[in-house]
Chains A and B, each alone.
Chain A
Amino acid sequence: MPDSLPSDSVGLVTPKTIHFDVPLELSCGQSLERYDLMVETYGKLNADASNAVLICHALSGHHHAAGYHSLDDRKPGWWDSCIGPGKPIDTNRFFVVSLNNLGGCHGSTGPNSNNPETGKPYGPDFPVLTVADWVASQARLADHLGIQQWAAVVGGSLGGMQALQWSLDYPDRLRHSVVIASTPRLTAQNIAFNEVARQAITSDREFFEGRYYDENLVPKRGLMLARMVGHITYLSDASMGEKFGRELREEAYKFGFGAEFQVESYLRYQGERFSETFDANTYLLMTRALDYFDPAYEFGGDLSKALAPATCEYLVLSFSTDWRFSPARSEEMVDAMISARKRVSYAEIDAPWGHDAFLIPTPRYTDIFTAYMDRVAREVGA
C-alpha cells in the first residue's frame, strides 16, 4: 500500500459500467443482443474531443490500467508506468480510455456473465470473439463517449493487434496507431503454446465442459498450468536466469519432485494467484482471438494489401529479447506498412525482459514513447 499516492499517478480512480443494447454482429456469425463494458478514464476530454487515447489490453489485462482503486491497493493499474501526469501517455494532456474487453472477466460481459436467455452464466455458450469484434465494440464505446477520432489507439501484445485492427476497420477514427511488442499474426509456435494452455484448462476435471460455474467449481489446476506455460513465454532466458538462476529454496537437493528451485516456486505462485482472479473460459477465448488474428489472411497473406485502407500514422516498437513476438515479427509489419506507402516509425528497444518488456519502463522505451506521444499531443493541440 502506498502511504500517499505518487505525484505522477492519476490517483484514485473508479471504474464505470457502460451498458449497450444495440446488438453487436460478431465475426463468428452470432450477435450479442446487449452487453456491458467496464471502463476507466483518466484526464479530461477537451472541447473538440480531439485528445482521446484508447488503451487496448493484452491477454490477461483489463480496464484498470493506471492509478489506484483504493489506498489499500498494493499495486497500481497494469500500465501505470506509462500512463499518468508527465508520463509517456500524459494525462495532463490526454483523455485516456481503458476498458475490459468483451469476453473478459473483470466486469465486461463475458463467459462468467449471466446469459439473459437462460439466467445462468454463458460459459461455453459465449461466442468466440475476434480482435475485429473487440475493435467494433470499442468503436461503440467511442460513440458513447462522444469521441469521433482517437488521437491515438495504443496497445502492447494482443493490445497492439487491436491498435492495428483499428487502423484497418475505422481508418478515419484514429490519427495514430501505436503497436508495441506485437505481431501481424501468430506463428505455429505461438499457437502451439496457446494450445498447451487450453489443453491444461479443458482437461482439468473441474472444467465440466466450461460449465464449472453451475458446479460452483473452478478449474484452478488447469488455469494455473496455463498461466505457468504462458508466463515462461513472457520472460527471456536471460531475465529468468538473472532472477532465479539455479537457486534452490533450501540448501540441498531433496531427491523429490516438489518445488525445489526458486523458479519452480515462482511459477507455481504466479499460476496460483492468476487462477484465483481469472476466468478459465475467458482465457480460452482470449487465446483463440490471438490465434485467429491475421488481417492478411483475406489478402492471400499479403499484409501490405490488407493495410490499404489505413490512413493513420504508425509507431511500431519491439524489444530485443522478446521471443514470443520477436522484433522480426514487428519488422514484417513495418515492411508491409512501408510497402503499402503508410507513414510509420519503428524502433527495436534493447531490453532484457523478453515480451514483458513492454510493461517495464526502460529509459529508451520511455524516451521514445514520450517523444512520440508529445508530438501526437501537439498535433491535436493538447
Chain B
Amino acid sequence: MRADLEIIQQWVRPGHHVLDLGCGDGTLLDFLQRERSATGFGLEINPDHITTCMGRGVRVIEQNLDSHGLDNFDDGMFDIVLMTQALQAVRRPDKVIDEMLRVGREGIVTFPNFAHWRLRWGLALSGRMPESDALPYKWYNTPNIRLCTFKDFEALCRQKGIRIKSRRVVDGQHQNSWLARLWPNLLGEIAIYRISRET
C-alpha cells in the first residue's frame, strides 16, 4: 500500500463523511470507501479521471476550485477534507485552506516541499528552476503555480490560527525515512499535514 494512503487512513474513522479536493482517479476515496466505509465526494476537473471515478463507484463532482470554490458545501458538513498534491496547483491556497476548514472539521493536506535539498542544490548549482520526480514540469508549463516549503505552510497555519494536529514527512515514493524525520524541511520531499481549527 502507498505510504501516504496508509498514513491518511489512520486518521479516517469508520463512516466518516469525506471530501477529496482534486481527487484524481479516485484511488484514495475508493480505498477509504472500502477500508473505512467512508462516504463523500471527490472534486475533479480532469475528464479522464472523472470517468475513472464513475466507473469504480467513487462519487465525483466536476468542479473547479479556482472558479467555483466550495460555496456549494455547507459549514461543517464533512468530517475530513482531503487535499493530496493539489494545494500547490490552486490560485489561492490560503483561501482553499480556509474553505477546507469551514466545510470540514479536519483537513489533511499533502504537498511537495520546495525546500528539499535536491531542489535547493539544483537551483544553486545550475541557476535553473529545479525539476524532480515530485515536480517534473518546466517552469512555463507547470500546473504547480504556488510552490511552498514546509516552513512556509506552517507559518501560514500559525498566522491563521490553524492547529497542526500531526505531520508526517515522506520521500518522493511516499516512503517513511528517518532522515526526513530528522531534518524535514531539507530532507523531506512530501509532507502529510493533519490540520484543524479545533483547539
Interface set of A (CB-CB < 8 Å, partner B) = 313, 315, 331, 334-335, 338-339, 341, 343-348, 364, 367-368, 371-372, 374-375, 379
CB distance from B24 to the nearest CB of A (A): 15
Q: Which 8 A-B pairs have the closest CB atoms?
A: A371-B55, A335-B72, A347-B62, A372-B54, A371-B54, A346-B61, A367-B51, A371-B51
Bound Cα distance from A175 to B166, whole angstroms: 40
Bound Cα distance from A379 to B74, whole angstroms: 30
CB distance from B154 to the nearest CB of A (A): 32
CB distance from A305 to the nearest CB of B (A): 13
> B54 touches which one: A331, A335, A368, A379 (CB < 8 A)?
A368
Bound Cα distance from A345 to B51, whole angstroms: 10
Q: Which residue of A lies closest to B44 (CB)?
A: A347
Residues of A within 8 A of B47 (CB): 347, 364
Residues of B within 8 A of A339 (CB): 72, 74, 77
Does B110 make an interface contact (CB < 8 A)? no
Given A338-B73, A339-B74, A347-B50, CB of A372 within 8 Å of CB of B55 = yes
Question: Which of chain B's residues 160-196 have a Cβ closer than 8 Å to chain A?
Answer: none
Given A346-B61, A347-B62, CB of A338 within 8 Å of CB of B41 = yes
> B59 touches which one: A344, A368, A371, A379 (CB < 8 A)?
A344
Does B52 make an interface contact (CB < 8 A)? yes
Bound Cα distance from A375 to B58, whole angstroms: 10
Residues of A within 8 A of B52 (CB): 371
**Known A339-B74, A345-B60, A346-B60; 4 more pairs at CB < 8 Å:** A343-B59, A344-B59, A346-B62, A368-B54
Does B39 make an interface contact (CB < 8 A)? yes
Does B15 make an interface contact (CB < 8 A)? no
> CB-defined interface of B51-70 with A at 8 Å, one 1/0 digit per residue?
11111110111110000000
CB distance from A89 to the nearest CB of B (A): 15
* SS of A interface (majority): helix
Bound Cα distance from A334 to B61, whole angstroms: 9
> A345 touches which one: B39, B59, B74 (CB < 8 A)?
B59
CB distance from B74 to the nearest CB of A (A): 6
Bound Cα distance from A84 to B50, whole angstroms: 24
Residues of B within 8 A of A343 (CB): 39, 59
CB pair B39–A368 under 8 Å, yes or no, is: no
Q: Which residue of A lies closest to B68 (CB)?
A: A331
Bound Cα distance from A368 to B59, whole angstroms: 13
Given A331-B72, A343-B39, A364-B47, CB of A338 within 8 Å of CB of B54 = no
Bound Cα distance from A375 to B61, whole angstroms: 17
CB distance from A296 to the nearest CB of B (A): 16
Q: Which residue of B lies closest to A364 (CB)?
A: B47
In the complex, 25 of the A-B residue pairs with CB atoms within 8 angstroms, ordered by the A residue number, are: A313-B59, A315-B54, A331-B72, A334-B72, A338-B61, A338-B72, A339-B72, A339-B74, A341-B17, A343-B39, A344-B41, A344-B61, A345-B53, A345-B54, A345-B61, A346-B60, A346-B62, A347-B47, A347-B50, A347-B60, A348-B62, A364-B47, A364-B51, A371-B51, A375-B55
Residues of B within 8 A of A364 (CB): 47, 51
CB distance from B125 to the nearest CB of A (A): 44
Residues of A within 8 A of B61 (CB): 334, 338, 344-346
Bound Cα distance from A339 to B17, whole angstroms: 12
CB distance from B182 to the nearest CB of A (A): 43
Q: Which residue of A lies closest to B47 (CB)?
A: A364
CB distance from A81 to the nearest CB of B (A): 18
Question: Which of chain B's residues 23-48 have a Cβ closer than 8 Å to chain A?
Answer: 39, 41, 47
Bound Cα distance from A315 to B77, whole angstroms: 21
Bound Cα distance from A371 to B17, whole angstroms: 24
Bound Cα distance from A334 to B72, whole angstroms: 9
Bound Cα distance from A379 to B54, whole angstroms: 13
Bound Cα distance from A339 to B103, whole angstroms: 11
CB distance from A264 to the nearest CB of B (A): 37
Bound Cα distance from A169 to B12, whole angstroms: 35
Bound Cα distance from A334 to B53, whole angstroms: 17
CB distance from B173 to the nearest CB of A (A): 29
CB distance from B34 to the nearest CB of A (A): 14
CB distance from A337 to the nearest CB of B (A): 10
Bound Cα distance from A375 to B60, whole angstroms: 14
Q: Which residue of A lies closest to B74 (CB)?
A: A339
Bound Cα distance from A372 to B47, whole angstroms: 14
Residues of A within 8 A of B17 (CB): 341
Q: Which residue of B lies closest to A350 (CB)?
A: B47
Which of B17, B47, B54, B72 has the largest count of A CB atoms less than 10 A from its CB?
B54
Residues of A within 8 A of B57 (CB): 375, 379
Bound Cα distance from A344 to B63, whole angstroms: 13
CB distance from B39 to the nearest CB of A (A): 7
Residues of B within 8 A of A338 (CB): 41, 61, 72-73
CB distance from A138 to the nearest CB of B (A): 25
Residues of B within 8 A of A335 (CB): 72
Residues of B within 8 A of A348 (CB): 62
CB distance from B29 to the nearest CB of A (A): 12
CB distance from A317 to the nearest CB of B (A): 10
